[in-house]
Amino acid sequence: MVPLPFSLPFAALEVGQHLYWQLGGLKIHGQVFLSSWLVIGALLALVVAGTRKLERDPSGAQNLLEFLWEYLRDIAREYIGEKAYRDWLPFIGTLFLFIFVSNWGGALVPWKLIHLPSGELGAPTADINTTIALALLVSLAYFYAGLSRKGFRYFEYYVEPTPIMLPFKIVEDFTKPLSLSFRLFGNILADELVVAVLAFLVPLIVPLPVMFLGLFTSAIQALIFATLAAYYIGEAVHEEAH
Amino acid sequence: MTSWFLFAAATEGGLFDLDATLPLMAIQVVLLTFILNALFFRPIGRTVEEREGFLATSRADAKQKLAQAQRLEADLTSQLKEARQKAQSLVVDAEQEMDRLYRSALAAAQAEAYASREKARREIDRESKLALDQLVADADRLGDQIVKRLLAAT
């Protein structure tokens, strides 16, 4: 192996290593929480800056926030329906914003400049714990949405249009969170890995197209997650026209 | 650089290392949902919907005002037309009146001139007749005298 004349600062690649924090008897991944706090901080800073004084003629950050609000409202209204979307807009919107800012934060913030004793900072959504947490929240949300709107009539959904659907619908309840969490996790982790491997092999120029592709994927994944969450909730609150 | 894919091979770590991060992250996201609802979705939603309401009412208002303006315009146009017609007929009336006055004045003047001319002619006739009668009488008288003197002389 020919030794390089200078040591590359970005060359190390660590996957599956975590910065462990002890919390009582529980272990948690510190790097995920650190980066998620940064994401949440950025979101809150934007929101506070944009809503400090709301005007009828919007200016500055209020424009951006109104655009985001209308975008998210359209998603929620389209998939949940006119009647119930108002209750679920904050949830869908928070999912989208959190995942989107996490993904882009993972791709755009130069995390490597911050050294941790173990593991490395990155998108919170590149950790399976985060994506499973989000997917389980979606499962809870659609069960709650269905039960609170229709009561036990919600379970009619499992035998509609025919009781043959029952096993498939039950399996669906397990595959929905599984596919949601693994889709997001896989896409974001794969993107980070591809960029890291390319940067490890060719540090200049070459990773750039993949980085742009990664930004695109990140945005799409946030949209897909939020859209599917809205769709599942909409399916749960949907009233059959008898 | 050891292996890249430590699929939970080690006792600790790995890609699929599930632990208390999961529930804590879930709680964190739920909290974020409530915070964003209070700071973002509710105020922005209220602002946007208020503006939409404002726009709808101003639009309806403007439409109503436009209709009113159009009605007024049509009203005024018809009034203007009416006034023009009235003015036109007034002008025509005045012209006819003037013409009539002119004609009657002319006729009166002509009649008066005719009358005074007639009177003057009758006066002249009467005077000339008088003068003629006088002449005839004078001539008769002179003729008689001439006749008498001639008779006397002879």
For chain B, domain boundaries: 21-117
Inter-chain residue contact B17 with A18, CB threshold 8 Å: yes
Q: What is the mean pLDDT of residues A109-136?
A: 86
In whole angstroms, what is the distance from residue A131 CA to residue A143 CA? 18
From A95, A88, A92, select the one nearest A39 (Cα to Cα). Answer: A95
Query: pTM of the prediction?
Result: 0.75
Residue bearing tokens 């249009």: A161
Q: For A194-229, what is each residue's pLDDT tens digit?
A: 888 888 888 788 888 888 998 999 999 999 999 999
User: Which pLDDT score, from 0 to 100, does residue B7 have?
Assistant: 41
Mutate to test the interface with A, among B3, B25, B46 (most CBs of A within 10 A): B25
Of A94, A73, A78, A231, residue with least CA distance to B37 = A94
Interface predicted TM-score (ipTM) of this complex, two decimals: 0.87
What confidence category does residue B57 fall into, taking pLDDT thresholds of 50, 70 and 90?
Answer: very high
∠A191-A196-A198 over CA atoms, to 5°?
Answer: 100
Predicted confidence (pLDDT) at residue A2 exceeds the cutoff of 50: no
Per-residue confidence at B73, pLDDT binned at 50, 70, 90? very high
A175: left (phi over 0), alpha (psi -120 to 50) or beta: alpha
Which among A90, A130, A134 is the nearest to B36, CB-wise? A90
State chain A's mean pLDDT as an integer: 87
How many angstroms separate the CA atoms of A158 and A178, rounded? 19
* Residue B4 predicted with pLDDT over 60: no
8 Å CB contact of B39 and A17: no
Cα distances from B78 to residues A68, A189, B67, B120, in angstroms, run: 53, 77, 17, 63
Q: Are residues A203 and A143 in contact, defined by beta-carbon separation less than 8 angstroms?
A: no
- Contact flag A129-B18 (C-beta cutoff 8 Å): yes
Whole-angstrom CA distances from B117 to A33, B68, B89, B110 are: 134, 73, 42, 10
